[in-house]
Chain A
Amino acid sequence: MASINNRKHPCIAYFNPDVEVYNKARQDLLLEFNAGDSYDNFNDFVAEEAEEYANNGDGVTYLVWNIFCGADGNEVKRELVAYYTLSATSIPYIDRIRLDEDEAKILGKEFDIQTCGISALEIKMFAVDKRYQDTFYEYKGTELPISAWVMRSIIDDANSLLNTVLGFKAIFLHALPNAEKFYENNGFHPVEKNMKPLHSVDSDYKAMYLSLRKVHMNYDD
């Protein structure tokens, strides 16, 4: 996992982030979000669809701001750095339990097949504004891309949640092909190609997971 990057790259000197749940009152600023010309759907999502998405129970969107303050310490300006949308999910798999001899004889089978799920937090959406793409920031001796700082703060949040609020074992997402490396650098693992366990309608997106807690399996040869 990459942590510190010593190569030359664009850095920002000022980054004062704040995260808040989607806030309709900031609509004017949300309309300015621009992940790039090819990503209109993502620009539109945060400006127009995030509220309905939350109301439907499909995911809660979080806004990552960079807050600029004046000499008196009061906010004078803010920029939307990134946004992400979280929801609950499960990674389903088939487990099997060996039946005892009598049961096996009655049921005429050796194993009981069960569908189980690995509980997970799903990152449904994650987009970074053009102004903060490929841009690094140094904090407490560690220099990371802004996108990585955001991602690691999500992981930190998730890890805190599962200790105190809500149990789950993984973070799960579907990465765009050109973002797989980014996720690998941030603790995620791709689902192996030859397994295709999470094959979706759009095979361009790679199912990836970050494992936080051990899964117990009954599977018995």
Chain B
Amino acid sequence: MKDNTEKEECTEDGGNNMAVLAKPINKISVIQEKDSRKFVQDFNNNRVSKEFLDTCKKAGSLFGKHK
């Protein structure tokens, strides 16, 4: 049986060592009229890049979805 071996050790920033990353919050309120235009503009400008989606595709492959 293959096993995992720790090759190297050190700390890493960037939130990778977080145990719990998201939590359910069931109450949200509406983005108000004065803010919504900027919010939607930002939302559209922040669309995820093709390059990033390619790495996600690689993750999909790792998880067996595109094998």
List A residues at the B interface (Cβ < 8 Å).
1-3, 5, 7-15, 17-19, 35-36, 38-39, 42, 58-59, 64, 68-71, 76-77, 84-85, 91-96, 113, 115, 118, 123-128, 130, 133-134, 136, 139-140, 142, 144-145, 147-153, 155-157, 159-160, 170, 173-176, 178-183, 185, 187, 189, 191-192, 195, 197-202, 205, 207, 209-215, 217, 219
Contacts and interface: CB of A to CB of B under 8 A. Distances in A.
Contact of B7 (A13, A64, A71): A13
Contact of B20 (A115, A179, A210): A179
Contacts of B23: 124-125, 174, 176, 205
Interface residues of B, number: 58
Given A10-B6, A156-B65, A209 B20 contact: no
A153 B31 CA distance: 29
Contacts of B24: 58-59, 85, 124-125, 174
A134 B52 CA distance: 21
A11 B6 contact: yes
B57 A10 contact: no
6 contacts: A19-B63, A92-B31, A147-B16, A176-B22, A185-B15, A187-B48
A76 B58 contact: no
Contacts of B39: 93, 191-192, 195, 197
The secondary structure that dominates the B interface is loop
A interface SS class: mixed
A126 B19 CA distance: 9
A2 B30 contact: no
A153 B1 contact: no
Which of A153, A157, A182 has the most C-beta atoms of chain B within 10 angstroms of its own C-beta?
A153
A2 B20 contact: no
Given A11-B7, A197-B31, A201-B25, A179 B42 contact: no
Given A155-B59, A159-B53, A200-B29, 4 more contacts: A7-B10, A178-B18, A179-B18, A182-B16
Contact of A182 (B14, B36, B62): B14
Nearest to B63: A153
A139 B56 CA distance: 12
A156 B28 contact: no
Contacts of B18: 128, 133, 147, 176, 178-179, 182
Nearest to B16: A145
A197 B34 CA distance: 10
A128 to B, nearest CB: 6
Contacts of A209: 43
Contacts of A96: 33
Contacts of B25: 174, 200-202, 205, 207
